[in-house]
Amino acid sequence: MKRLETEVLKRDLLKVAGKLGVSSVTAVLYGEHGAFTIRPFVRAFGSWNRALEACGLRVKFKGYIRRVRKVDLRMRYMVLKRDKYKCVLCGRSPAKDASVELHVDHIVPFSKGGLCVMENLQTLCEMCNFGKSDDC
């Protein structure tokens, strides 16, 4: 295995992870978004999980993949709870100001391939989300 090829594979895997806004990529997801097949990764690294490790990505894909655009209520609740019911940008919260409305927003927009997974969602207030068209 040539060193160069390994680097090319790693770079593309990281590119896919960045594009999807996730810290782990399943072999199936990579197959849909990556430039290569899974085979060269297995050949170069021994297994898909080893390839993830080599890239500093997480081996386990946390959360389930939502193909639908809408964030369901359970997911919304989990995101709000994780972000402590505050806007992650300005910290405003409806607990302190009743006029604040919180939105669950895609960090990497759905239209750009971002997934409806916990790590690609964030809590924003209406003000911070204003002007963004890819909110849920």
Q: Which residues bind Zn ion (CB under 5 A)?
A: 87, 89-90, 125, 128
Q: Are 113 and 20 in contact (CB under 8 A)?
A: yes
C-beta of 91: minimal distance to Zn ion in Å?
Answer: 7
**Closest CB to Zn ion among 51 and 102?**
102
C-beta of 20: minimal distance to Zn ion in Å?
Answer: 25
Provide DSSP, the chain: --HHHHHHHHHHHHHHHHHHT-S---HHHHHHH-SS-SHHHHHHHSSHHHHHHHTT--SS--SPPP-SSSPPHHHHHHHHHHTTTS-TTT---TTT-TT--EEEEESS-GGGT--SSGGGEEEEEHHHHTT-S-B-
Q: Which residues contact 18 (CB under 8 A, 6 or more apart)?
A: none
**Closest CB to Zn ion among 54 and 100?**
100
C-beta of 123: minimal distance to Zn ion in Å?
Answer: 9
**Closest CB to Zn ion among 9 and 128?**
128
C-beta of 107: minimal distance to Zn ion in Å?
Answer: 14
**Closest CB to Zn ion among 80 and 89?**
89
